[in-house]
Structure 1
Amino acid sequence: MSKNYLRSTYFAIFLIVAIIEFIWYVDRSNRDFAAFLLALLQNDFTTTFSETSKGQSFNELHSAFNQITQKFKTISSEKEVQHIYLESLVEHVSVGILSYDEKEKIHLMNGALKNLLNKPQVLYLKGLEGIDKRLLNTIRHIKPGENRLVKIKLSNQLLQLSLHASEFKLHAQYYKLVSFQNIKNELDANEMDAWQKLIRVLTHEIMNSVTPISSLSNTLYEIIEKENKKGTLNQDTIQKVLTGLDAVKSRSAGLQSFTEAYRNLTRIPPPNFKEVYIKDVLKRIETLLRPNLENVDFRIAYDDESIKILADTDLLDQVIINILKNALEALEDSDNPKILITVNSQEKTKISITDNGPGIDEDKVDQVFVPFFTTKRGGSGIGLALSKQIVRLHNGTLQVESVPGQGTSFIIEL
């Protein structure tokens, strides 16, 4: 009887210990599992679980936890790297990119767009209203897949923007993506090519017509003179014919000269590039024009006097001299004439030639590089068109910024 009692006691104690051990095991497992899930929920992939000294079953469980945590850590790291890559890619592209939601809250505005619009980060689309209301209206109403052209003036500079839109949903959230590209240089290049083709055709046809007329008038003039010497023609008739032929000859020569001037636009020789100091180029031009600059406050400012460029100095001199002569003509009636040339170099070398003359009317600024267009009496409208063509051959750009009543700047970027 006592043995049975003793056995029952031992069994009860063993059962109690087993139950306590089981409860501890379940509680420990639950706590570890809860800690594991909580770490995943909080994206904390640094939590690790000991894989030794806990017993085989705990070691295996903790090993599985650690492997899963490491897998999530790897996935998270890959996503972060991909996000940084895509973010860098968006910032690197030269096309402006804007993304906003249905409440017009801006989620993305890359560096190219900030530089293009000269605007820091904007929180809502309405913040672009201060730049140009037409631009804001176009962004709001452009349809997915549609292309729009918008012309705006920003910091006295004309921009011709090409906008393209698309839309998408991400986690049930609507987004509209708009790309911006300033295509003014491309449009200017195409326009200049079109003008060159037109001028080539016109000058060819005019010269074909004028040359025979000029030749014929010379021949007739000589015949009349010979006959006049022989005394076989009436003096009054001879005088009338000679006067008429002289007029034809004179106008033919004038028309040939006029046509030849426009031919220059299509006859620019290929640039002979060589490395030169921009300071030497400007010093030589200043010396050449010094007699014209005596009554002008003329200054040249350099960020770095050792800036070098690849250029055909003969052609580049022609561009800068033409711009300076235009500036001098604009300053003829100014009380305190000033011309400032600034030179700086970042990604490209920028040469800005600024005068404090009367400026150019806003409706004419966009036409100054168009062949035949001129604001000067007796001007041919060739100088600036030729200058822009020369700069294009240098793979550069020539732009104008002007404020009526304050002055004009011509900016050469090479």
Structure 2
Amino acid sequence: MFYKRFTFRLIFRLLVINLLGYLLFYLIKNTQLWFTIIGVGLIFFGTIISLYYYINEIRSDIKRFILAVKTRDHTLNFKNKTTKGSFPELYESFGDILLVHKQIRLEQEAMFQLIKTILEQVPVGVIVVNTRVTDNENQEIAFFNQAASNLLGVPAYKYWHRLKQHLPAFANEVDQIPNGGKRFLELKIHEKFIQLSTEVIPLNLYGKNYTIISFQNIKDEIEQKETEAWNRLIGVISHEILNSITPISSLSDTINSMVTDKENLDLDEMEDLKTALQTIKRRSAGLLDFVKDYRLIAELPTPNLESHTIGEILKHIKVLMQPFAKVKNVTLGVEQTSSKITVQLDLKLIEQVLINLITNSIYAVEEKETPHITVSYRLENTKLYIDVTDNGNGIDVADLEKIFVPFYTTRKNGSGIGLTISRNIMKMHRGSIEVVSIPYEQTTFSLVFNYV
């Protein structure tokens, strides 16, 4: 091994230096051979200098090697020293390390180019900003793909403040969620409005802070979903109106035929006429109620947001719904009523949502031997969930997509607007309603709030 050769040569040189030093000392002390003394002295100092350069050579090469690794300089090589000198194995190892380091670097660059190519091909806009805490004006954009340029109608800017000057609405929305999250925003690009679903993800890599901004135009998807929703709504409305109009029209024809060309009606005809008119009145009243329900969905009040604790909300619901549940012989458990977690909401509207959900659950567990409903809350990441769980018959998979459609109901005498109103109320709170159902075991409706 190289260190054995180095040790041998180092010991040999030190031994020669010691012998020369002893000889020089002896000659100076005991003889007058000045030419010999000068010659031995020069040899003595020459061996010392040779030892210095011998040791300094490897130190210098190690220093060059370390600098090459730090600066990622792959041009350095020690091929001329791998076949001669005291350290061929060492220099060969240096070369291998530099080669592996170069291969790793090339693999990283190849992977970066692969990821970059993929991101350039996807239809989602991606912008990566190198965040500098001390210099917000000159935050550098590390990546700006073609889809982002096309969606925003701007060139691939190098600095964030340039994009902010061109599209202040977009940049301001992104700046409002520095800790990450999703936003929906509408922009006017080249006289056309686009709807962008935007997500911001902060990231720290090797001590550097990055902000990944991804967005896509969901206008077509929204329009498609709106069309589907309108088709379902029109279908339900048409069904309800036809159910009311058909008997009214039929009875109107009957009444018309009864009174046409007649000046007087007998007692039986009067009774038939009275029954027909009562039926028309009843169906007209039903149609009027249907229209009122529709207006109730369309004209929800704007939420008056105030700070309320979860414990306060759950206490109110327990007081409101416990008597009704007791009458129906349903066990209603409201947990965590002492929670001090605070959220911004309209208490009256959220209470209405919880009343709707608990009422639905009470009817869902009517046929159970031990019916019970649980109301609780949980925190997950940046979301706050208020859960209403029951052990009723559950919801079929086919009905999960329909339960929020206006006037769709699986319950007798149900209006079909409770869940629709509840979802609209949650949307106005920038939240949502989620449902998970295992048929004949358990169903959970969750009110989802953003909690930061």
TM-score (norm 1): 0.51
Counterpart position of 1:260? 292
Confirm or deny: 8 A CA contact 1:274 1:310 kept in the other structure. yes
1:376 aligns with 2:406: no
SS in 1 for 2:403: coil
Matched residue type, 1:30: E
Q: CA deviation at 1:7?
A: 6.8
Cα distance change of structure 1 residues 268 and 250 upon mapping to structure 2, 3 Å threshold: same
Q: CA deviation at 1:373?
A: 2.5
Cα distance in 2 for residues equivalent to 1:42 and 1:303: 61
> Which structure is richer in relative contact order (CA contacts within 8 A, separation 6 or more)?
1
Cα distance in 1 for residues equivalent to 2:234 and 2:346: 24
SS in 2 for 1:235: coil
Cα distance in 2 for residues equivalent to 1:330 and 1:194: 28
Cα distance change of structure 1 residues 243 and 403 upon mapping to structure 2, 3 Å threshold: closer
Rg larger for: 2
Mark the runs of 5 or more structure 1 residues left unpaired by the alignment: 44-98, 100-144, 146-161, 163-178, 222-226
CA shift digits 1:18-43 (9 cap, x unpaired): 53144123213213214424655787
Cα distance change of structure 1 residues 341 and 246 upon mapping to structure 2, 3 Å threshold: closer
Cα distance in 2 for residues equivalent to 1:290 and 1:34: 83
Matched residue type, 2:291: T
Confirm or deny: 8 A CA contact 2:312 2:337 kept in the other structure. no
CA shift digits 1:51-99 (9 cap, x unpaired): xxxxxxxxxxxxxxxxxxxxxxxxxxxxxxxxxxxxxxxxxxxxxxxx9
SS in 2 for 1:341: strand
SS in 2 for 1:265: helix
CA shift digits 1:113-138 (9 cap, x unpaired): xxxxxxxxxxxxxxxxxxxxxxxxxx
Identical columns (%): 28
Equivalent residue for 2:44, pick from 8, 11, 17: 17
Say how many residue pairs are matched. Answer: 259
1:235 aligns with 2:269: no
Cα distance change of structure 1 residues 238 and 357 upon mapping to structure 2, 3 Å threshold: closer
Cα distance in 1 for residues equivalent to 2:410 and 2:439: 14
Cα distance change of structure 1 residues 22 and 400 upon mapping to structure 2, 3 Å threshold: same
Cα distance change of structure 1 residues 303 and 293 upon mapping to structure 2, 3 Å threshold: closer
Cα distance in 1 for residues equivalent to 2:349 and 2:437: 25
Alignment map for 1:195-214 (pairs within 5 Å): 195=229
Confirm or deny: 8 A CA contact 2:383 2:448 kept in the other structure. yes
Counterpart position of 2:339? 305
Cα distance change of structure 1 residues 377 and 240 upon mapping to structure 2, 3 Å threshold: closer
CA shift digits 1:239-297 (9 cap, x unpaired): 77666555444433322221221222211111122223333333333333333222222
Mark the runs of 5 or more structure 2 residues left unpaired by the alignment: 1-31, 71-114, 116-146, 148-196, 198-212
Cα distance change of structure 1 residues 187 and 340 upon mapping to structure 2, 3 Å threshold: farther
Confirm or deny: 8 A CA contact 1:196 1:265 kept in the other structure. no
SS in 2 for 1:302: coil
Q: CA deviation at 1:392?
A: 1.1
Counterpart position of 1:391? 426
TM-score (norm 2): 0.47
Q: CA deviation at 1:318?
A: 1.2
SS in 1 for 2:415: coil
Cα distance in 2 for residues equivalent to 1:180 and 1:410: 30
Counterpart position of 1:327? 361
SS in 1 for 2:335: strand
CA RMSD of aligned residues (A): 4.6
Cα distance in 2 for residues equivalent to 1:394 and 1:360: 26
1:353 aligns with 2:383: no
Alignment map for 1:2-401 (pairs within 5 Å): 8-9=35-36, 12-37=39-64, 39-40=66-67, 191=225, 195=229, 233-235=263-265, 247-294=279-326, 295-302=329-336, 304-345=338-379, 347-401=382-436
Cα distance in 2 for residues equivalent to 1:413 and 1:357: 22
Confirm or deny: 8 A CA contact 2:388 2:445 kept in the other structure. yes
Cα distance in 2 for residues equivalent to 1:24 and 1:342: 81
CA shift digits 1:293-349 (9 cap, x unpaired): 222222111185223332222211211111111111111111111111112346443
Confirm or deny: 8 A CA contact 1:200 1:263 kept in the other structure. no
Equivalent residue for 1:404, pick from 428, 439, 451: 439
Matched residue type, 1:361: D
Cα distance in 2 for residues equivalent to 1:357 and 1:24: 91
Matched residue type, 2:52: Y
